[in-house]
Structure 1
Amino acid sequence: MNWAFDITLKNRAVLKSFIESYTLEELNKIPKGFNNNIIWNIAHTIAVQQSLVYKLSGLPPVISEEMINTFKKGTKPERDLSQAEVDEIKGLLFSTIEKTKEDYDAKIFTSFHTYTVTTKNTLTNVLEAIEFNNFHEGIHLGYILALKKSL
């Protein structure tokens, strides 16, 4: 299981590097032909991880419901984010995964609501949710790389 968390943390380090390498304006820019931006994709990975792991387990997420609703599947940027919001997202990249690992090790994930994802895979337990989350974050890393070329 540590392997799955290690993958997530390595991907999150890459996402953090985008926050540190681009200006606030670049992070918020929606290039022509796209419907979202770099910072939305980064925040989206945090919101979806919390939904897949905590909400499907019937547990309260570590982040606010407002953040989940702003960046969940089917949303898009409605406004530019402030530097303070970007800083908060940057901090959540690692704290959410560290908390998830702590909670997983403490065995608090005792139930799970079966959920079929867009790829038609059905998640039946928290381990599958954690593993699927890595696939999901990889998709958004690829999307960010495409956005980066369009800045």
Structure 2
Amino acid sequence: MATQIFDNIRAVRTKIAAQLDGFSTEQLNKIPEGLNNNLVWQLGHLVVSTEMLCYWRSGAMKERAVPLADNYRNGSKPEAFVPETEIAMLKERFFSSIDTLEAFYTEGALRVVEPFALGTFGIPANNMDELLQMCLWHDTLHWGNINVIRKLV
């Protein structure tokens, strides 16, 4: 199952990345009226959320740093204009983080998971395979948010 889930995450992220192509730095930073975040926040949120869920819920990798976690974690919102350099880094991590996660998974570093339920819907994750399914579900949920925001910028 593991190879398939990583392939599925990459496939969804390829579609999301294509949705973001062609937007300027200003457009990626624009918060449409009535909303509380923007396209770059959505991108950053997907990057850091997947890393946080997989590393921090893994008993073996609790101390692994997740760059920019405070900027894009659940409950955060855009606080400042995000420069092109940070956007480029997030776009690169959007895919490289999945490659890194897969390598750790294959090595067995991500086998232990502290069981929990995702707050929004209470979906349980008791092992890494369930957690990876949750990450895929989370990506597709935010893909919908991205599609809404991109029509408004």
Alignment of 1:2-151 (within 5 A): 2-58=3-59, 59=61, 60-61=63-64, 63-64=66-67, 67-117=68-118, 118-151=120-153
TM-score by length of 1: 0.93
Distance 1:110 1:134 in 2: 18
Partner-residue secondary structure (3-state), 1:116? strand
Q: Is 2:105–2:111's contact at 8 Å kept on the other side of the alignment?
A: no
Q: CA offsets, 1:36-76, max 9 Å, x none?
A: 00110011011110111110003144632xx1111111111
What letter is aligned with 1:21?
Answer: G
The 3-state SS of whatever aligns with 1:80 is coil
Mean Cα deviation higher: 11-20 or 94-103: 11-20
The answer to whether the 8 Å contact 2:5/2:133 transfers is yes
Asked whether the 8 Å contact 1:19–1:90 carries over to 2, the reply is no
In structure 2, relative to structure 1, the CA distance for the partners of 1:52 and 1:105 (3 Å cut) is same
Segments of structure 2 that go 5 or more residues without pairing to the other structure are none
Aligned residues: CA RMSD? 1.3
Alignment check: 8 A CA contact 1:50 1:62 kept: no
Q: Which amino acid aligns with 1:33?
A: G
Aligned residues with identical type, % of pairs: 25
Matching residue's letter, 1:147: I
Letter in 2 for 1:105: T
CA deviation profile, 1:57-101 (whole Å, cap 9, x unmatched): 03144632xx11111111110111000000100110111000111
- Measure the CA separation in 2 of the matches of 1:112 and 1:119: 19
Q: Structure 2: which amino acid aligns with 1:130?
A: L
Q: How many residues align?
A: 149
Distance 1:78 1:46 in 2: 18
Q: Which amino acid aligns with 1:22?
A: F
- The answer (yes or no) to whether the contact 2:115–2:126 under 8 Å persists in 1 is yes
